[in-house]
Amino acid sequence: MIPERYSAWIWHGGELPHGLRQETVTSTPPAPGDVVVRLEAIGLNPVDWKLLEIKGGDVPGVDGAGRVG
């Protein structure tokens, strides 16, 4: 079951990594064909920082581990 709200680290811009803020966000229902993964761990690496510098308001993490549900 997908929770109605969850905790996420959101990028708001500024100096890395200080622009990351932990927030509670509202879930969106998955579309047909989507897979829901409950992440238990993510790895932040240089690729994530480069992607965040391009676009703010995103949740970082290209590499993750979790459970499909």
* Cα–Cα dist 39/67, whole Å: 7
**Can you give the pTM of this predicted structure?**
0.60
SS3 62: coil
pLDDT (tens digit per residue) in 19-45: 788 999 998 889 999 988 888 888 878
pLDDT tier at 2 (50, 70, 90 boundaries)?
Answer: confident
pLDDT at residue 53 greater than cutoff 80 = no
CB 11 within 8 A of CB 52: yes
pLDDT tier at 12 (50, 70, 90 boundaries)?
Answer: confident
